[in-house]
Structure 1
Amino acid sequence: MRIAVVNNFFPPRVGGSAHMSASLAAEYAAAGHEVLAITAAYGDAPADEQRDGYRVVRLPAAKMPQLGLSIDFDMSFASLKPGNWRRLWKLLDEFKPDAVHLHGQFFDLSWLAGFYARRHKLPVLLTIHTLLISDNKLYGRVFRVLDAVLVKPVLKYIRPRYVILDKLGVDYCVERYGTSDANSEYFPIAVDTGHFAKPVTKDVRAELELGDAPLIVSLGHVIPLRNRLPLVEALPAILERHPGVRVIVVGRVYHDAFLKRAEELGVAEALVVTGAVPKEDVPAYFAAADIVTHDLNGGCGTASLEAMLSGTATIASVTEDNYPGIELRNGENILLVRPDDAEAVEQTVLSLLDDPALRERIAARESAMVRANFGLDVVAEEHLRVFTKLVADHDVP
């Protein structure tokens, strides 16, 4: 098959959807399929390159200004650059895809490639990564209107088969886009197990002069939807029992409310903020950690799953039925807290710091659970199974 993979986010840009789309593209290519990845220009990344057995084309793009929204980070839109519609369609004409895999329902490249697929009657998979939601009531209403007025009509025209990653996404897509079992696949986030089989790139504790202090790592961009406030609110009680605890926050800080709150609570000295780090260094931070906490406002994304895979006790805030068909058991193969519940974070962290043996047992079970259910090879095989069926059905007169 010839598969076009389209995502505004793609490495070297960091982020869950960027890495997932690139990893799946590499798996498709490794399985013998021809792959073209189309994305938006980013930094000094080449406009056209070969990587991991497939071609990547980056179209000129305009960077969106930061407006303080709940999904506010460096987003680029290719449709704002003249001629990109023609460039994209010419690329696809030359590639002659059998199927298209879109990542992200509200990005312009997904729409442009989706229109092409609809015009040429090609099967489309659309993976829903980010949901248009916000804790801010005004933004929440704006996002709901955008979904109804812009996104839903586009999706109705494109007619994709949806790939939905978790229960929150299922509920959201049913409500906002009218999805159902008839037009959806429920695949979890894909985690690259091979990436964590390599030796770590550095000694984080030595680099940051942390010694053997109890260490909590929180990895991922800081935005309002992942604001780190529950962890900061829990820190005074944690530090009272374990005064040497340090917290490393890894990722770009787009929302600094947690830093201001840490100053108010007198715990700022326990925080180390590194900014974004290269993907190859991520395993080193997990290897240095005793505990990982990232998704405390609701969710269990790529960073949390990678931390579990690495064998580090990881806390997240989803329900046990979050992943359709995957059995999560709190306290056995995952550690769950209610969203935005600082007291629950405090109690869970303290229980893990107080009992290293318990921490190790749960970490081992988390790793085994992720490897069995979220491994890139497992998830990619499911995607290819669906592509094969869609293309076969498409070829039937």
Structure 2
Amino acid sequence: MRIVVVNNFFPPRVGGSAHMAASLAAEYVAAGHEVLAVTAAYADAPAEERVDGYRVVRFPAMKMPQLGLSIDFDMTFASVRPGNWRRLFRLLDEFQPDAIHLHGQFFDLSWLAGWYARRRDLPTLLTIHTLLISDKKLYGAVFRLLDAVLVRPLLSLFRPRYVILDKLGADYCAERYRTGEPNSEYLPIAVDVARFDQPLTMDVRVEHEIGDAPLIVSLGHVIPLRDRLPLVEAMPAILDEHPDTKVIVVGRVYYDAFLERARELGVRDAFIVQGAAPREDVPAYYAAADIVAHDLNGGCGTASLEAMLSGTATIASVPADNYPGIEMRNGENILLVPPDDATAVAEAVIDLLDDPERRAKLARRQSELVRAHFGLDVVAAEHLRAFEKMLGERGTRPAE
């Protein structure tokens, strides 16, 4: 097959959806398929290059201003640049794709490539990475309106088959986009297992002069949807029991309320804010940690799954049935706390620091869970089967 992978976010930009899109593209190539990746320009990344056996084309784009919203980070949009629409269609016509894999339902390149796929009658998968939700009433209302008047009507034009990553996403898509079994695939986040079998690139404890102190790593961009406030508010209780505990926050800080809250609580000195780290250094941060705590506002995304894979005890905040068909047993192969519950976070961290044997056993079982169900090769094969099924169905659909 000739497969187009489309995502406004793509390496060298860091982030879960960017790395998942790139990893799946590489896996499609490894399986013998030809791949074209289409993305938006980012920093000084070249306009075109070959990576891992496939071609990457980056379209000129405009950066959206930061407005303090719940999904506020550096998003770029390509459709506003003159000529990009025609250029994209020409590029796709030249490539002659058999199938298209879109990432992100509210990005303009997904909309444009989806419309192209509709006009060419091409099988299209759309992976839903981020949900337009907020616990703030105003933001929540704005996001619902955006979904209702913009996103859902656009998606209805090209009618993709939705790739839904977890139960929360399934409930969200059913409500907002009217999805169901006939137009959905339930495929988990893909984690590149091989990347965590490589030698570590650095000694994080030496780099930050941490020594043998208890270390919590929280890796991922800091935005209002992942604000780190539950971890900050748990720290006074944690420090009462383990006074030397340090927290390294790895990722760009787009929302710094957690730092102000840490100062108010007198725990700011426990936090080391690293900023974004190269992707190749991520395993080193997990290896240095005693505990990883990132998804505490509701979730268990790529960063948490990678931490689990690495063999470090990881705390998340999703229901035990979050991944359809994958059995997660709280306290055995996953450690779950309620979203935004600082007391539960404190209790979980203290229990793990108090019991290294339990911590090691949990970490081992978490790693086994991820390797069995979230490995890149396993998830990529499921995506390819979905494409093959859709290609087989294309000739049997009645004319419209």
Query: TM class by shorter-chain length?
Result: over 0.9
Query: Aligned equivalents of 1:380 and 1:122: distance in 2?
Result: 19
Q: Over residues 37-68 of structure 1, what are the superposed CA-to-partner deviations in whole Å (9 max), with x where a residue is unaligned?
A: 00000011111111101110000000000001
Q: How does 1:1-397 map to 2 (within 5 A)?
A: 1-396=1-396
With the length of structure 1 as denominator, give the TM-score of the two structures. 0.99
How many angstroms apart in 2 are the aligned matches of 1:23 and 1:38?
14
Cα distance in 1, alignment partners of residues 134 and 78 from structure 2: 25
* SS in structure 2 at match of 1:80: coil
Q: What is the TM-score normalised by the length of structure 2?
A: 0.99
Following TM superposition, the consecutive aligned residue runs of length 4 or more in structure 1 with deviations greater than 6 angstroms are none
The amino acid that maps onto 1:357 is E
Deviations 1:217-257 (A, max 9, x none): 00000011101111111101110111110000000111111
Extract unaligned runs of 5+ from structure 1: none
Distance 1:390 1:181 in 2: 14
How far the C-alpha of 1:367 sits from its partner, in A, is: 0.2
Which runs of 5 or more structure 2 residues have no equivalent in the other structure?
A: none
| Cα distance in structure 2, aligned partners of 1:390 and 1:56 | 25
1:90 and 1:72 map into 2 onto residues whose CA distance is 32
Letter in 2 for 1:212: D
Q: CA deviation at 1:135?
A: 1.8
- Paired with 1:348 and 1:396, the residues of 2 have a C-alpha distance of 53
Percent identical among aligned pairs is: 76
Shift of 1:391: 1.3
Q: 1:189: Cα distance to partner?
A: 0.3
The residue type paired with residue 83 of structure 2 is G
Q: How far off its partner does 1:370 sit?
A: 0.5
Deviation of 1:393 (Å):
1.8
Q: CA deviation at 1:25?
A: 0.4
Q: Specify the code of the residue in structure 2 equivalent to 1:283.
A: P
1:352-381 per-residue CA deviation (whole Å, 9 max, x = no partner) reads 000000000000000000000000000000
Code of the residue aligned with 1:185 in structure 2: it is E
Aligned-residue offset at 1:395: 4.0
Give the root-mean-square deviation of aligned CA atoms.
0.7
